Chain A
Amino acid sequence: MTLAYGRELIATRELLLNLTMREVKGQYRRTVLGQLWSIINPIATMIVYTLVFSFLLRVPPPPGDPSGLDVYALWLMCGLLPWTYFTRVVNGGVASITANAGLITKVYFPRMHLPLSVTLSTAITFGVELGVLTIALWIVGGFPLPWLPLVLVAIVILAMFGTGLAMMLAIVNVHFRDTQHFVGILLPMWMFLTPILYPLSLVEEAAGREGAWVLTVFQLNPMLHIVELFRALLYDNALPTALEWLAAIGSASIVFALGYLVFARYERRLAELL
C-alpha cells in the first residue's frame, strides 16, 4: 500500500512542482523588497543574537579548525540558518493540511505533496541564505567552496528530518488543532537546548562540573548532530566525523520513514476530518 502510494507520488510529481511554485511566487507578491525579505530577516536576527550573545554575554565560539575563522556572527549563522529552515519546514508542513482544507475537500490528489511543497519552497529561501553566508565566509578568509557538495548532502538530511516530523505532526494536527500551537512553543525551546547560540564546548564544561550525563542528554538530540554537520563543513572547513554523519543520517532516515508511513496510512481520511 505504501509502495503504491510512492508510485502515485512519483506519477504526480508535476503537481508537487506546481504547488512549490505557487508557494514561491505567492510569498512575496506585492512587497516592495520581494525576495530580499528572505535575506533581511536572518540578518536582523543575526545582529540581535550577536549583540546579546557575543557582545553582552561573551559566549566564546571556538575558532574554526582548520579554517582559523573567529567571527561569532558567522559562526552563529552556520547553525542558525539550518535551524530556521528546519522550523519553516515543520511549522509550514504542520499547517499545510489545514491551510489547504478547501483543496483537500474538493479534489483528490496525493496529499503528501502539500507538506513536501513546503519543504521545497522553503529550501529555495534557505539556498539563497546559504549562498550569501558562503560569500561572507569566503570574504573573511574561509574556504567554504570545496565543501558545498557535502553541504548539499547535509541539506537533504535536514530536509528529511524536518519533513518526517512535519508529516507526523500534520496528521496529529488535523485531530487536535492544539498541535500547531504546541509546536510553536516547543520549537524555540528546542532551539535553546541545541548548541546553536552557544558552542558545544559550554555543554562539555557543564558536563565536567555536573557529570557526564549532561552531555549524553544533549547528544540524544538529532538536531545537534545535523547542525554540527553544517558548522564543520562551512565554518571549520573540516570533514565531520563518521559518527556525526551516522547519527544525522540515521535519525533523519528513521524520522522520515515514520512520517511517510504515518502520513500514507492516514491521508485518506483527511478530507472528512477537515
Chain B
Amino acid sequence: MSAAGAASGDAAVVVDAVSKKFRLFHERNQTLKSAVMRGRRIVADDFWAVRDVSFEVPHGATFGLIGRNGSGKSTLLKMLARIYQPDSGRVVLHGRVSSMLEVGSGFHPELSGRENIYLNGSILGLTRKQVAARFDSIVDFSGVETFIDQPVKNYSSGMYVRLGFAVAVHTEPDILIVDEILAVGDGAFREKSRKKFLEFTGEGRTVILVSHALSEITAMCQQVAWMHEGRLRALGPTDDVVAAYTASIADESS
C-alpha cells in the first residue's frame, strides 16, 4: 500500500511528508547546573517519533489511526491538533479544528460547572455567545443538571469527564481530532457519544480518531492508517488494514 496520497481538492486534512523528532537527554535534568556541567557537549540522541508520514483525509470521512504504544500515533495527532510543530513536512487543515485529547482540559476545580463550561468552551475556541447558545444542550448531554452550580471538585470522576466531553462535542468543528476518549462514562453515555459522532460525520464533518479498541475503529472508520515505529506501515480501507494489523499482533504473540 502506498503512503502517498494523490493530491485532491476535496481533502480536509493533508499530511505531507511529516516528521517529528524528540531529543532524548540521557539525564533529563533541566537545571542550569546540569547545562553548565555538560559544557558544550550535547548529551542527547535524536529520536524520530514520526518519520516521513503522508496521507490525506477526505471531507466528511472518519479516519482511524492504529498502532501499538509508542508507534507515534499520539505525536502525529498532536501535530494535527497544532500542539506540536513538525520538524519537516507540513500539515494542512481546511476548516476549523477542535481537538479532544483530554476532556476537561483547563477546568478549574473551585469554579462551578456553569463557569467551567464557559471557560472550557473558550479554550476550545468558542465565543461566549456560541457557548450560551449551546449551554442547555451541553448540560443536557452531560447529565449533570442538578450539580451545574456546584464546584467541579465535588464532581465524581464520571461527572467530570462527561461534562468535559459534552463541551468538546458541542464545539461543532469542521475537523475533530479525538484521542482514545470514547471510552468515557458508563454504557449509556458511551452509546450517546457514539450517536453524537455518527451525527457528526453525517453532517459532513471530518473525524480523525486514535483508538486501541479495534471494534470501535471498524465500526466507525472508512479509512485507517497503521503506524509502526514512527512510520506509516499501511494505509487503506478499514477492514484490510485492521486485518493486517491483527495478523501481525497474532504473529508476534505466538
Contacts and interface: CB of A to CB of B under 8 A. Distances in A.
Contact of B127 (A14, A103, A104, A178): A14
Contacts, number: 76
A21 B114 CA distance: 13
Contact of B32 (A12, A107, A178, A271): A178
A268 B86 CA distance: 10
Contacts of B204: none
B31 A107 contact: no
A17 B125 CA distance: 13
A30 B122 contact: no
Interface stretch (B3-11, B103-111, B141-149, B221-229): B103-111
Of A22, A103, A269, A271, which is in contact with the most chain B CB atoms at under 10 Å from its CB?
A22
B118 interface: yes
Of A18, A21, A100, A271, which is in contact with the most chain B CB atoms at under 10 Å from its CB?
A18
A26 B110 CA distance: 6
A77 B137 CA distance: 50
B interface, size bucket: 20 to 34
Contact of A107 (B85, B106, B108, B115): B106
A30 B84 contact: no
B123 A15 contact: yes
Interface residues of A, number: 29
Interface in B160-174: none
Q: Which 9 A-B pairs have the closest CB atoms?
A: A108-B82, A29-B110, A106-B102, A18-B122, A106-B105, A178-B32, A15-B122, A271-B83, A106-B101
Interface of B: 22, 30-33, 35, 78, 81-85, 99, 101-102, 105-106, 108, 110-111, 115, 118-119, 122-125, 127-128, 151
8 contacts: A14-B127, A15-B122, A22-B119, A103-B123, A105-B83, A106-B83, A106-B101, A177-B31
Interface of A: 12, 14-15, 17-19, 21-22, 25-26, 29-30, 100, 102-109, 175-178, 268-269, 271-272
